[in-house]
Amino acid sequence: MKEKKWVDCPSCGSKGSMLYRKNISETYCNPGYHPITVTGLDGHFCRVCDEGIFTIKSNKKIASSIAEGKALQDSDKIVASSITDVDSVAKTLSVTRQRVHQMMDEGKLSYVYVGKNRFPIKGDEKSIKLLKMRIKKRSHG
């Protein structure tokens, strides 16, 4: 994906209103979780309506920070029987362990922290199946 340079606002339609801004902090509220604040973001923002578009890099950071924030919060309430390990998920999906870690980074797979290690959540089987379908599709062309 190539980074688009925003000039006109896609939200309110103002011409030439988009300005590049960096060091932005955003707080995300997810149901059942404490708000998660992500800092150091950049993107193009409209000086008329204040709508903005984050860069691809910032979007990735947001996805990964929210996943990590949820994981840290879940670590307090989740029980051992509801988590699985990276190896089993890798086996289920027929991907490498590295790819499983990558999916956790991208926020595609829910996980929790146990000590310093990350463990995928077992209840996330539905998303695992979805991922499996997507991976299959991709490998078939």
* Class of residue 64 by CB neighbours under 10 A (exposed 0-12, middle 13-18, buried 19+): middle
4, 7, 12, 34: which one contacts Zn ion (CB under 5 A)?
A: 12
- Could you tell me which stretch among 3-11, 81-89, 105-113, 124-132 binds Zn ion (CB under 5 A)? 3-11
Place of tokens 């077992």: 122
36, 38, 41, 46: which one contacts Zn ion (CB under 5 A)?
A: 46
Query: Shortest distance, CB of residue 112 to Zn ion, whole angstroms?
Result: 39
Determine the Cα–Cα distance for residues 2 and 56; give it in Å rounded to an integer.
8
Strands of the chain (E only): list them: 18-28, 36-46, 52-54, 111-114, 117-120
Query: Shortest distance, CB of residue 26 to Zn ion, whole angstroms?
Result: 17
- Counting contacts by CB under 5 A, is residue 9 touching Zn ion? yes
Query: Shortest distance, CB of residue 47 to Zn ion, whole angstroms?
Result: 8
Contact by Cβ (8 Å): 42, 24 = yes
For Zn ion, how many residues bind (rule: CB under 5 A)? 8
The phi, psi pair for 98, rounded to 5°, reads -60, -40
- Counting contacts by CB under 5 A, is residue 53 touching Zn ion? no
Residue 95, phi-psi category: left (phi > 0), alpha (psi -120 to 50), beta (remainder): beta
- Could you tell me which stretch among 49-57, 80-88, 90-98, 113-121 binds Zn ion (CB under 5 A)? 49-57
Binding site for Zn ion (CB under 5 A): 9, 11-12, 14, 46, 48-49, 51
